[in-house]
Structure 1
Amino acid sequence: MSKNLQIFVEYASTLIEVIGILIIGLGAFWALGRYLFKKQGEPYRSFKIIREELGKAILLGLEFLVAADIIATVVFETTTKSILNLGLIVLIRIILSFTLEIEIEGKFPWKQKPHKTTGKE
């Protein structure tokens, strides 16, 4: 791989990581601000709503962080050890995403309500 392409991919991976971190940080501030100023669409402050909003920000940020890890590992370190480390990171983030999804929705992802138009899940 050429040096310029390697530098570009490294910067792209870092940029995607920063975007993921910003999404989590700004999402946390957004959820907290809406909670503190009662801007949650309800006449009262809801701890459940702040947890849902924060969980959604974390889930979206994690997707970006996983993408950055995949790019960095596949492009720069294609050793067995680095790929196993990536697999472990992805597995941990999948478990974290799954538990956050259950926390936000209050049910397992495969127990979704049927669509109103089709009646199918």
Structure 2
Amino acid sequence: MEQALHLLAERLSQTLQFITMLLLAFGTAAALWNLVRGLFAGRAASAVTLEVWQGLSRWLLLGLEFMLAADLIDTAVSPNWDDIGKLGAIAAIRTVLGFFLGRDIELARRIAQEPDAPAPKANEAA
């Protein structure tokens, strides 16, 4: 029974990792498409860059969530202290990345809604 559980967890983790790769590949392709399309449409480079960055950031955040799920499944079956420590470090790094990406997306959205407003200082971004 335990061996079957390990095999199921391994397959599920691999599936989630594959889905993550697909999400990241799709997000990158969409970002490149939006970049080329926006620049050839004659739009301002700053507006195109902001739109592309926001779109790619959303895909990266989604990919981070799937990667964390895969790591949780790997560790859940038969955890040892080394695996738990590694998972904790990975989760902390991904949480920090997700926090700052989410914050930057929100800031970019606010700037896009009020293009004439002055850009906030670094310590006012939060």
TM-score, structure 2 as length reference: 0.75
Query: What does the per-residue CA deviation read over 1:16-49, in whole Å, with 9 as the maximum and x for residues that have no partner?
Result: 011112111210111110221129xx96251000
CA distance in 2, matches of 1:5, 1:73: 12
Is 1:61 matched with 2:63? yes
Is 1:95 matched with 2:96? yes
Match of 1:73 in 2: 75
Per-residue deviation, 1:3: 2.4
Query: What does the per-residue CA deviation read over 1:49-104, in whole Å, with 9 as the maximum and x for residues that have no partner?
Result: 0000000000000000000000001114x111110110110000000001111121
CA distance in 2, matches of 1:6, 1:55: 33
Is 1:17 matched with 2:17? yes
> What residue ranges of structure 1 are gaps of 5+ in the alignment?
108-121
- Identity in percent: 32
CA distance in 2, matches of 1:94, 1:70: 14
TM-score, structure 1 as length reference: 0.78
User: With CA pairs under 8 Å and 6+ residues apart, which has the higher RCO, 1 or 2?
Assistant: 2
CA distance in 1, matches of 2:3, 2:81: 23
Q: Which moved more, 1:66-75 or 1:42-51?
A: 42-51
Two-structure CA RMSD over aligned residues (Å): 1.9
Aligned residues: 104
Q: 2:52 aligns with which of 50, 53, 57?
A: 50
Match of 1:117 in 2: none
> What residue ranges of structure 2 are gaps of 5+ in the alignment?
109-126
